[in-house]
Amino acid sequence: MKFLILVMLLCYSFAFSSGDTTIHTNNWAVLVCTSRFWFNYRHMANTLSLYRTVKRLGIPDERIILMLADDMACNARNEYPAQVFNNENHKLNLYGDNVEVDYRGYEVTVENFLRVLTGRHENAVPRSKRLLSDEGSHILLYMTGHGGDEFLKFQDAEELQSHDLADAVKQMKEKRRFKELMIMVDTCQAATLFNQLQSPGVLAIGSSLKGENSYSHHLDSDVGVSVVDRFTYYTLAFFERLNIYDNASLNSLFRSYDPKLLMSTAYYRTDLYQPHLAEVPVTNFFGSVMETIHTDSVYKAFSSKTSNNKINSEMPVNQLSEHDELQKANIPNDELKTEKQKCPYTQMRVDLHEKLEKFENVDTVVNLGIAVMVFVVMISSSLL
Amino acid sequence: MASLIRSWIPLLILQSFLVAIAFGSKEAEEFSEALLLKPLPDRKVLAHFHFENRAPPSNSHGRHHHLFPKAISQLVQKFRVKEMELSFTQGRWNHEHWGGFDPLSSMNAKPVGVELWAVFDVPQSQVDTSWKNLTHALSGLFCASINFLESSTSYAAPTWGFGTNSDKLRYGSLPREAVCTENLTPWLKLLPCRDKDGISALMNRPSVYRGFYHSQRLHLSTVESGQEGLGSGIVLEQTLTVVLQPETTSVETNMQPSWSLSSLFGRKVVGSCVLAKSSNVYLQLEGRLGHESKNVDTEIEAHKLWKNADFDLSLKPDRVLRESSSLLFIFDIDKSSDSEPFDLGLTWKLPSKWSCQQAPLQATRFLMGSGNERGAIAILLKATESQEKLPGRVVTDGRCTIKANIFQIFPWYVKVYYHTLQIFVDQQQKTDCEVLKKINVSPSTDKVSSGMLEMMLELPCEVKSAAISIEYDKGFLHIDEYPPDANQGFDIPSALISFPSHHASLDFQEELSKSPLLSSFKEKSLVRSYTEVLLVPLTTPDFSMPYNVITITCTIFALYFGSLLNVLRRRIGEEERFLKSQAGKKTFGLKQLLSRLTAKIRGRPIEPPSSDSPAAQSSFLSSKLIFKIILVAGAAAAWQYFSTDN
Mutate to test the interface with B, among A48, A98, A130 (most CBs of B within 10 A): A98
**Residue numbers in B near A95 (CB within 8 A):** 180-181, 205
The average pLDDT across A274-300 equals: 80
CA angle (B541, B544, B550) in 5-degree steps: 110
Per DSSP, chain A holds a count of helices (H) and strands (E) of 12, 12
Is A358 part of the contact surface with chain B (CB cutoff 8 Å)? Answer: no
Q: Is the pLDDT of residue B593 over 50?
A: yes
Set of chain B residues whose Cβ sits within 8 Å of the Cβ of A36: 484-485
Helix (H) or strand (E) holding A328, with range, is helix A300-329
More confident residue, A62 or B339: A62
Distance in angstroms (rounded) separating the CA atoms of residues A139 and A107: 22
Nearest in space to B55 (alpha carbons), one of B257, B190, B216: B190
- SS3 track for B476-524: CCCHHHCCCCHHHCEEECCCEEEEEEEEECCCCCCCCCCCHHHHHHHCC
Cα B345 to the center of its chain, rounded Å = 33
- Mean pLDDT for A232-254 is 90
Start-to-end CA distance of chain A, whole Å, equals 26
pLDDT for A16 equals 43
Q: For A107, which residue in chain B has the nearest alpha carbon?
A: B145
pLDDT at A186 over 90: yes
Dist. CA A171–CA B256, nearest whole Å: 65
Question: Of B179, B181, B484, which is closest to A36 when you measure between CB atoms?
Answer: B484
pLDDT band (50, 70, 90) for residue B303: low
Query: In the sheet where A147-148 sits, what is the strand order?
Result: A147-148, A151-154, A158-161
Across the interface, which of B145, B208, B543 has its CB nearest the CB of A106? B145
Strand partners, B448: none
Minimum CA–CA partner of A80 in chain B: B206
Residue A60 contacts B, CB cutoff 8 Å: no
Q: Give the dihedral of Cα atoms B74, B77, B80, B85; nearest 10 deg.
A: 40
Nearest to B143 among A82, A101, A127 (CB): A101
- The pLDDT mean for chain A works out to 81
Q: Is A156 on the interface with B (CB under 8 A)?
A: yes
Among B150, B181, B484, beta carbon nearest to A95? B181
pLDDT for the residue numbered A313:
35
A289 or B329, which is more confident: B329
What average pLDDT score do residues B602-627 get?
A: 60
| Mean pLDDT value across chain B | 83
Check if B209 contacts A (Cβ < 8 Å).
Answer: yes
Q: At what angle do helices A2-17 and A344-358 cross, to 10 degrees?
A: 160
A201 pLDDT more than 50: yes
d(CA B100, CA B359): 5
Are the Cβ atoms of B90 and A157 closer than 8 angstroms? no
| CB of B366 closer than 8 Å to CB of B380 | yes
| Residue B488 near chain A (CB below 8 Å) | no
Question: Chain B residues with CB inside 8 Å of A128's CB?
Answer: 140-141
Inter-chain residue contact A104 with B483, CB threshold 8 Å: no
Among the options A43, A138, A188, A323, which is catalytic?
A188
Residues of A in contact with B180 (CB under 8 A): 71, 73-74, 82, 95
What distance in Å separates the CA atoms of residue B382 and residue B424, rounded to the nearest whole number?
A: 12
* A129–chain B Cβ distance below 8 A for any pair: yes
Indicate which of B136, B204, B205 best probes the interface with A, i.e. most A CBs within 10 Å of its own CB.
Answer: B205
Is A146 among the catalytic positions? yes
Contacts of B484 in chain A (CB under 8 A): 36, 106, 155-157
Residue of A nearest to B542 (CA): A157
- Averaged pLDDT, B216-224: 91
Q: Does A350 touch chain B (CB under 8 A)?
A: no
Beta strands across the sheet bearing B81-90: B155-156, B169-174, B113-120, B81-90, B213-223, B233-244, B45-55, B30-39, B278-286, B326-332, B319-322
Name the B residues in 178-207 with CB < 8 Å from any A CB. 178-182, 185-186, 195, 205-206
Q: B586: pLDDT confidence band, cut at 50, 70 and 90?
A: low
Report the chain B residue with the minimal C-alpha distance to residue A123.
B133
User: Distance between CA A122 and CA B407 in Å, rounded?
Assistant: 32
Segment B559-584, tens digit of pLDDT: 999 999 988 988 888 888 888 888 87
Band of pLDDT at residue A314, cut at 50, 70 and 90: very low
Say which DSSP state B200 is in: G
Residues 520-539 of B with CB under 8 A from A: none
DSSP alpha helices (H): ranges in B214-323? 261-265, 299-306
Chain A nearest CA to B180, separation (Å): 6
Comparing A296 with A58, the larger pLDDT belongs to A58
Whether residues A37 and B485 touch (CB distance < 8 A) is answered with: yes
How confident is the model at residue A304, as a pLDDT? Answer: 42
pLDDT for the residue numbered B595: 72
A205 touches A254 (CB < 8 A): yes
pLDDT at A6 over 90: no
B452-465 pLDDT, tens digit each:
999 999 988 888 99
Residue B205's closest chain A neighbor by CA? Answer: A82
How far apart are the C-alpha atoms of B102 and A226, rounded to whole Å? 46
Q: What is the pLDDT of residue B24?
A: 42
Tell me if chain A has a CB within 8 Å of the CB of B484.
yes
Q: What does the pLDDT average to over B235-240?
A: 94
Q: Which long-range contacts (CB under 8 A, 24 or more apart) does B445-449 make?
A: B445/B412, B446/B412, B446/B475, B447/B153, B447/B412, B448/B152, B448/B153, B448/B412, B449/B152, B449/B153, B449/B412
Which residue in chain A has the smallest CA separation from B486?
Answer: A157
Mean local confidence (pLDDT), B210-225 = 91
Q: Alpha-carbon distance B513 to A375, whole Å?
A: 101
pLDDT for res A4: 47
Residue A131's pLDDT band, with cuts at 50, 70 and 90, is very high
SS3 content of chain B, % helix, strand, coil (to 5): 35, 30, 35
Residue A300 confidence (pLDDT): 53
DSSP string for residues in B570-613: --HHHHHHHHHHHHHH-TT-HHHHHHHHHHHHHT-PPPPGGGS-
Contact between A211 and A189 (Cβ < 8 Å): yes
State whether residue A122 sits within 8 Å of chain B by CB.
Answer: yes
Distances (CA, A) of B181 to A30, A100, B188: 20, 8, 10
With beta carbons under 8 A apart, name residues in chain B contacting A124: 132-133, 136-137, 147, 150
Q: Which residues of A touch B195 (CB under 8 A)?
A: 97
Among chain A residues, CA nearest to B90: A74
Taking residues B166-172, report their average pLDDT.
Answer: 91
Q: Provide the phi-psi class of A156: left if phi over 0, else alpha when psi is between -120 and 50, else beta.
A: left
Considering only alpha carbons, which residue of chain B is nearest residue A62?
A: B140
Q: Would you say residue B402 has pLDDT above 70? A: yes
User: For the residues of B72-108, what is the DSSP string, one character each?
Assistant: HHHHHHHHTEEEEEEEEEES---HHHH-SSSHHHHHH
CA-to-CA dists, residue B269 to B214, B237, B275, B313, B477, angstroms: 20, 21, 15, 16, 52
Question: d(Cα A273, Cα B453) in Å, to the nearest integer?
Answer: 61
> Cα–Cα distance between B136 and B371 in angstroms, integer?
37
Give the contacts of B434 (CB within 8 A, at least 6 positions apart): none
For residue B138, name the pLDDT band (cuts at 50, 70, 90).
very high
Q: Which run of H or of E encompasses B376?
A: strand B374-383
Please report the pLDDT score of residue B590 as a whole number.
Answer: 66
pLDDT digit string (tens) for A217-233?
Answer: 999 999 999 999 999 99
Answer whether A29's CB lies under 8 Å from A65's CB: yes
Per-residue model confidence as pLDDT tens digits over A321-362: 444 443 444 434 444 344 444 455 666 777 777 776 666 666
Would an 8 Å CB–CB cutoff place A270 in contact with chain B?
no
Digit-coded pLDDT (tens) for B481-521: 888 888 889 999 999 999 988 888 887 766 556 788 888 88
The DSSP letter of residue B145 is: -
User: What pLDDT score does A151 carry?
Assistant: 93
CA dihedral of residues A88, A91, A96, A100 (deg, nearest 10): -50
A12 to chain B, any CB pair closer than 8 A? The answer is no
**pLDDT for the residue B119:** 94
Among the options A11, A146, A218, A343, which is catalytic?
A146
Task: Give the torsion sign (CA, A185, A187, A192, A196).
Answer: negative
Helix H or strand E segment including B45: strand B45-55
* Start-to-end Cα distance in chain B: 92
> Which residue of A37, A81, A107 is in closest CB contact with B210?
A81
What is the mean predicted confidence (pLDDT) over A138-156? 93
Q: Is A188 a catalytic residue?
A: yes
Of A112-126, A242-256, B220-234, B521-535, minimum mean pLDDT range: B220-234
Q: B139 and chain A: CB distance < 8 Å anywhere?
A: yes
CA torsion A289→A295→A297→A301, rounded to 10°?
A: -70
Query: Residue A274: pLDDT above 50?
Result: yes
Residue range A55-64: mean pLDDT, rounded: 92
Q: What pLDDT does residue A312 have?
A: 37
Flag whether pLDDT at B605 surpasses 60.
Answer: no
State whether A96 and B181 contact (CB < 8 Å).
yes
- CA A119 from chain centre, in angstroms, equals 15
Burial class (CB in 10 A: 0-12, 13-18, 19+), A176: middle
One-letter amino acid at A51 equals Y
The pLDDT of residue A373 is above 70:
yes
Look at A106 and B148 and tell me if their CB atoms are within 8 Å.
yes
CB contact (8 A) between residue B178 and residue A122:
no
Residue B190 with chain A: CB contacts under 8 Å: none
Q: What was the pLDDT predicted at B305?
A: 72
* Residue A24 pLDDT greater than 90, yes or no: no
E strand or H helix at B401, and its extent? strand B399-410
Closest alpha carbon within chain B to A109: B484
Percentage of the residues of chain A whose pLDDT score is greater than 90: 59
Span B402-428, average pLDDT: 92
How far, in Å, CA of A379 to CA of A374, rounded?
Answer: 9
